[in-house]
Structure 1
Amino acid sequence: MKAAQIIKYSKDFEAKIVDVPIPEINDDEVLVQVKAAAVNPLEKLIGTGAVKLIQNYSMPLILGNEMSGIVVKVGKNVTQYQINDAVYSRLPLTKIGAFAEYVAVEADAIGLLAANLDFASGVAVPLTGLTAFQGLHEELEAKAGESVFISGGSGSFGQLAVPIAKSMGLKVIVSGNSESQEHILALGADQYIDYKRENYWEVLHDVDYVIDTLGASEIAHELSIIKSDGGGRLLSLQAGPNRRFAIANDFPLWKQKLFSISGMKVDSQAAKRNIEYHFIFVRSDGKQLQEVTKIIEDNNIVPFVDPTHFMLDDINEALSLVAHGHPKGKVVIRF
């Protein structure tokens, strides 16, 4: 089969198209013929080695964290999926490889493709949807009646995070560009702040939770709007891990010390306001993905997909668009 592979971590890595054997499956896995694979910023972080302290890979490595496709073989212990099922997955961290014609994946890491989506739009769901689900349920432990603000929430994350948050009974506030305002409000957001017209930190206060999609430069503003009487939390998708993240992931002591140092600045900023800082690195979870799927089907959500048509041979152009361009939705490799 054809696959896109790197042979080492490098700041200027390029994926090479190679021929490798179709993977064998174990008793708890299924073999999926990949129909679409998503290209995410995570691919660059992995290829450059930026996240190897969180997850270090053996080389050579087939890249790709997110795929949709058809089940073509089922392990003998797998009962919930059958041949010809349309499925999608955020592949397990330790066994990525979506940029290939076939992938072997644990059955508990996949979900049935949402009925209202095709393979290309469906592949935009697993990683983003699970990030939002795990962030809201596990990291923030948000409860009905509380409020959450999503900075920079007008993109692909917001279009899944907003309906998931609303399904939990939260008040949802989003900042973003004017072009996305109508769409995000239609998904259920209670308030939308056009970042070119208003500064959210000047109009918001005493928010229970903030989800940061913008990174370290925005942390001070985000902390300033969170309630400081206890229980407030800031969850970042961008600003980097800290000691809490290392402990939660059961990292060895030397990594806990390292992340304690790297996260010291933001932890200190948060502690001064009696706020907890959290960082997330999303994992696969088939059961959670099925819950996300139900929300997508109930609300007829169709994620935006960039119109540029990429095949596997175009992988480096697709990676470049994600890293340096301005895609109009999820960048997708089609098979």
Structure 2
Amino acid sequence: MTKTMKAAQIRKYKQHHLELNQVAIPAVGDNDVLVKVAAASINPIDLKTRDGKLTMLLNYKMPLILGSDFSGTVTQVGQDVKAFSVGDQIYGRVQKNRIGTFAEYIAVDQGDVALKPSNLNFEQAASVPLTGLTSYQALVDIMHVKPGDKLLIQAGSGGIGTIAIQIAKSLGAFVATTTSRKNIEMVRKLGADQVIDYHQENFEDVLFNYHFVFDTLGGKALENAFNIIKPGGKVVSLSGIPNGRFAAEYGLPLWKRLAFSLATLNISKLERETEAQYVFLFMKPNGAELNLITKMIEDGTVKPMIDRVVPFSEIQSALDYSETGRAHGKIIVTMD
């Protein structure tokens, strides 16, 4: 008899209400570990995936279990797995073609996970993988932030912002961020050097000559980032549109490269005018980098910020709350 688990699914794109169903526990490949999920976090990519906003990059078969990162305990290992054993407490971000952490179990490649930080519980650990890796890859892999660099991190009180500020400060950067008045003290405690209340002033009116902008908002905020960037600087965005350069690196077909190039003509114009570079970031799971983040957490350099923890039976309310954009830190779902 096939063993089953409970999971939160959609049957079609733009289906806003998740269905809680019994489905088969995923098969375990030779390089996989099977994890009993303790907690998972809600991320903007979950909403974008649900709403079909990523179909030019990823087109999933339905029904689809959502969820991208998790913490939990290894219950089975594939025959080629050497790094982990049954009983290990781990956390990670699954590959984009293997999402499904809003479930009791997930099978994940051993290269995409790491041992859970010893000083975090499962809920805290689940808040880290996607936001931590995204921030690390933006700040270290792409920007190569060094002491004295000036960096703007948009939306400092959000899930990405709260982690990115801490990592940027550990790298020695001068960090500016935007937030609402009620969150000013919080982002200052995280290390922000200059805080802009976006209800009162525009960042492009008060900042100038910045080496980097980490954009999490897209739209007009992304375009305005070029008003403060210095020649040779980089604007790295999670929320903008992929450009032709990204499409080529991602191995997309020619017609998609052309489509993205046309969609980002204005961004390309801003790049030329400011002599800066626009980089669209599509984070990649990476267990080795997650191990480095683990060390930052265990030595106190980085502390995860959690807005709320909800049981799996109330996952719909967690998704709805995430959609408001009011979360201060991460929203965590525990398997109940």
TM-score normalised to the size of structure 2? 0.92
Is 1:177–2:170 an aligned residue pair? Answer: no
Change (3 A) 1:117 1:152: same
Q: How far did residue 132 of structure 1 move?
A: 0.5
Q: Is the 8 A contact 1:89 1:111 kept in 2?
A: yes
Is 1:4–2:8 an aligned residue pair? Answer: yes
Computed over aligned residues only, the root mean square deviation of the Cα atoms, in angstroms, reads: 1.9
Residue number in structure 1 paired with 2:318: 318
Q: How far does the alpha carbon of each residue in 1:65-101 deviate from its partner, in whole angstroms, 9 at most, with x for none? A: 1111111112222222122111111111110110110
Residue number in structure 1 paired with 2:246: 245
Q: How far does the alpha carbon of each residue in 1:241-300 deviate from its partner, in whole angstroms, 9 at most, with x for none? A: 111211221211111111111122222222211111111121211111111121122226
Q: Which runs of 5+ in 1 are unaligned?
A: none
Is 1:134–2:137 an aligned residue pair? Answer: yes
Q: How far does the alpha carbon of each residue in 1:133-159 deviate from its partner, in whole angstroms, 9 at most, with x for none? A: 111123323334322111222322122
Residue number in structure 2 paired with 1:278: 279
Alpha-carbon distance in structure 2 between the residues aligned to 1:223 and 1:249: 24
Identical amino acids, percent of aligned pairs? 39
Q: How far does the alpha carbon of each residue in 1:103-139 deviate from its partner, in whole angstroms, 9 at most, with x for none? A: 1000010111122211112111111111111111233
Alpha-carbon distance in structure 2 between the residues aligned to 1:198 and 1:262: 29
Is 1:333–2:336 an aligned residue pair? Answer: no
Q: Secondary structure at the match of 2:332?
A: strand
Q: Is the 8 A contact 2:159 2:328 kept in 1?
A: no
Aligned pairs for 1:119-268 (under 5 A) are 119-228=122-231, 231-268=232-269
Residue number in structure 1 paired with 2:100: 97
Equivalent residue pairs, number: 331
Is 1:50–2:92 an aligned residue pair? Answer: no
Q: Secondary structure at the match of 1:201?
A: helix
Alpha-carbon distance in structure 2 between the residues aligned to 1:174 and 1:57: 35
Q: How far does the alpha carbon of each residue in 1:201-241 deviate from its partner, in whole angstroms, 9 at most, with x for none? A: 2222111111112221113321111113xx21111121221
Q: Secondary structure at the match of 1:129?
A: helix
Name whichever of 190-199 and 268-277 sits farther off.
190-199
Q: Which runs of 5+ in 2 are unaligned?
A: none
Q: Secondary structure at the match of 2:308?
A: coil
- One-letter code aligned to 1:3: A
Q: How far did residue 15 of structure 1 move?
A: 2.1
Alpha-carbon distance in structure 2 between the residues aligned to 1:265 and 1:221: 12
- One-letter code aligned to 1:107: Q
- Detail structure 1 runs of 4+ shifted over 6 Å in the superposition: none
Change (3 A) 1:302 1:182: same
- One-letter code aligned to 2:12: K
